[in-house]
Amino acid sequence: MHMRFKLYIEYEGTRYSGWQVQKNVRTIQGKLLEAAKKIFKNEKVEIQGSGRTDAGVHALCQVAHIEAKSVLAPEIIRMKFNDALPSDINILEVEKTHQNFHARHDAINRSYLYQISKRRTAFGKNYVWWIKDKLDFNKMQSSAKLFLGMHDFVSFTDEDKEEKSTKVLIDDIQLKQDVELILVRIIGSHFLWKMVRRMIGVLVEIGRGKLSEQDLTKFLHSKSNKPAMYTAPPSGLFLEQVIYKDEKLNRDLIPTIYVQSSSKKNYKY
């Protein structure tokens, strides 16, 4: 009997060329399919994610669905997946779902978290974007509000044949300072290729004083190649949560790694 299962997945994306299967490169979806072949005895199975993540981007909770002929309990499937997967991909939970559930089509919102470090860090390099320049947090915070609502993000993405439209609804954007980190959370209906990283890059340039709110407004109203110049690195980006009907964001805006103050005054010997 074919069953459909919903997978909740976390991964450290540093070693991978993104979520989607591609020839001759290591991907998250590819590793999951390799594991699925072992679990379901080479039966042809498909794993569909809620959306693609770029090369080097992480996920705190990606959602996917898989349909397979199996009598195994969800918890056994979870354990078997984790036994077969590399240590930087982990299945958090597996649950049975209805046959019509689709991880991508049924998602209402996605939440992304970006982490900017204000100091060089020995431990957090893979999880932050370290910026040497002093950033004006208040300018970044006020400018970020311009992204709210429905906009054409054609200036913030590369041409992608799979996308029918470049219009995206941004429901919320939050910025917070946490010791040596600046955290940015963006919640939207969906996201285009490289879109979040270019939004972050433009906000950083505003924080540096190299761009203005007027520049950002122009990027949102007419096509420009400039945001591509400011694309933030993937290291600081996390797919935080995929939100479905009757669900809410279940996580406070907190960092995934703690970067303590670099001032000697704050150390106790």
Q: Which two tokens stand for residue 141?
A: 């915070």
Whether the CB-CB separation of 155 and 224 falls below 8 Å is answered with yes
- Alpha carbon distance 254, 215 (integer Å): 30
**Where are the strands (E) in the chain, listed by range?**
2-11, 46-49, 58-69, 89-97, 109-117, 129-130, 149-152, 167-178, 181-188, 237-243
Q: Euclidean distance between the first and final Cα of the chain, in Å?
A: 63
Q: Which of 54, 133, 171, 178 is catalytic?
A: 54
H or E element: which one contains 39?
Answer: helix 28-39
Helix 195-208 vs helix 213-221: crossing angle, to nearest 10: 150
- Alpha carbon distance 198, 1 (integer Å): 45
For the question of residue 54 being annotated catalytic, the response is yes
Q: Which residues contact 169 (CB under 8 A, 6 or more apart)?
A: 149, 150, 188, 189
Would you please indicate which residues are annotated as catalytic (active-site) residues?
Answer: 54
